[in-house]
Structure 1
Amino acid sequence: MGRQKQPEIRERLLEACTDAVLAGGLPDRLEPFAVASGTSARMLLYHFGTKEALLRAVLQHARARQRRDWEALLRVRADEDYRRTLARAWAGMTGPAGQRYLAVFNRLREDAEQQLWPGFRREATTDWLAPLQEGLRTIGRPELATLVLAVVRGLIVDLDATGDTDRVDHAWATFVAELGEPPLRPGRPPTSAR
């Protein structure tokens, strides 16, 4: 009779492998995972089935961590204007804590065939819309969620390509400062106080 798999061991291995990926990127072989988790490649395959299944599990676990961390950054705070929240969130997303996620997931965005995670690019775009809409609603601008997300993504690509933190941070600060009052609707004259 074969040994029963133990979910707590799988979870411990998954945590250790995820930590390793966030610290050093996706490895091409199982050995770095084995070293990071203190086990053997054979035991990793026993718990995850294949190298690809392990990589997918690690990426999904890392993504869950990123969503938790970044949703906390984007969360509405009763005592804070959402523009200030966005400025602080940018620092968290592009600082050392955020860079570990960007380094891993930028590689997935560039994978045209999306073999490890089919549909990742779409998911990685649309899953931030709801928190942004909720936050932008507090300043009367929920319709700007797609624009804000596009600017975030574009500036992150720019930062990744150039490393010019000062210029990119300045662009983000300028953009956030412009998220003021909604424009008047076309064709309606402004109402004046009497």
Structure 2
Amino acid sequence: MGRRPQPHIKERLLDACADHALAHGLPDRLEPLATATGTSARMLIYHFGTRDALLRAVLGRARQRQLDTFGDLLRARPDEPYTATLDRAWTSITGPDGLPYLRMFGQLRESAEQQLWPDFRRTATTDWLGPLEDGLRSIGRPDLATLVLAVIRGLLMDLDATGDTTRTDQAFRDFLGTVEHLSSGYRRACAGQDAPAEAP
């Protein structure tokens, strides 16, 4: 009678595979993942079924880590303006903690490996709208979520293409000034400060 897959071993292998893929990129063969996990390609197939099933699981695990980490960064905090929260999130996303995710999912978008996750481009966009809407609601402008996301994504593409951190950082901070201006206008309007004076 064959052994049954053991969930705790599978989870440990998946975490180790995700660590390796984030550090080195998603491999097109099983051998690098087998080496990284201290097991064999045969045992990986035993636990995950096929190469593609394993790679999809690795992508899913890495994506969940990214959502957990960046989702927390985008969460509004009562002790700081949301534009400061966005500035801190940008610094982390484009720093050493965030770059492995950008490399991995950039590779997924641009290569034949996108067949592993055909709906990734749409999912990678819509995943972030909810957290941004929630955060921007703290300054009364959840409607700006699509604009903020588009700017972040565009500047990340610029940074990936040029490596010009100084210019893209400055561009994002200039944009945050615009967001602050828009939210200030909203707050003034809500307070009635923009209402026209009554005629005598």
TM tier, smaller = over 0.9
- Aligned-partner Cα distance in 2 for 1:113–1:31: 17
CA offsets per residue over residues 90-148 of structure 1, 9 Å max, x none? 00101010001000001122247831102000000001001101111111211110000
Match of 1:191 among 179, 195, 199: 195
Partner of 1:124: 124
Larger displacement relative to structure 2 (175-184 or 73-82) = 175-184
Residue 142 (str. 1) matches residue 146 (str. 2): no
Worse-matched range after superposition: 115-124 or 102-111: 102-111
Shift of 1:4: 1.1
Residue of structure 2 equivalent to 1:101:
101
Who is 1:35 aligned against? Answer: 35
Q: Which amino acid aligns with 1:37?
A: T
- Unmatched segments (≥5 aa) in structure 1: none
How does 1:12-161 map onto structure 2 within 5 Å? 12-111=12-111, 114-161=114-161
Aligned CA RMSD, in angstroms, stands at: 1.9
| Superposition TM-score, scaled by structure 1 size | 0.93
Describe the superposition over 1:23-55 as per-residue Cα deviations: whole angstroms up to 9, x where unpaired: 111111111101111100110011011111100
The alignment's TM-score, normalised by the length of structure 2, stands at 0.91
Paired AA for residue 140 in structure 1: G
Quickly say closer, same or farther: Cα 1:60–1:113, change in 2 above 3 A: closer
**Structure 2: which 5+ residue stretches go unaligned?**
none
Q: Hey, what's the Cα distance between the residues in 2 that align with 1:175 and 1:127?
A: 22
Residues 140, 181 of structure 1: 8 Å contact kept = no
Q: Is residue 182 of structure 2 the alignment partner of residue 181 of structure 1?
A: yes
In 2, Cα distance between equivalents of 1:134 and 1:193: 34
Q: Distance in 2 between matches of 1:70 and 1:113?
A: 24
* Number of corresponding residues: 191
Q: How has the CA–CA distance of structure 1 residues 42 and 113 changed in structure 2, closer, same or farther, with 3 Å as cutoff?
A: closer
Mean CA deviation greater in 161-170 or 104-113:
104-113
Whole-angstrom distance in 2 between the partners of 1:193 and 1:58: 61
Q: 1:96 to 1:113 in 2, by over 3 A?
A: closer
**Residue 178 of structure 1: CA displacement?**
0.9
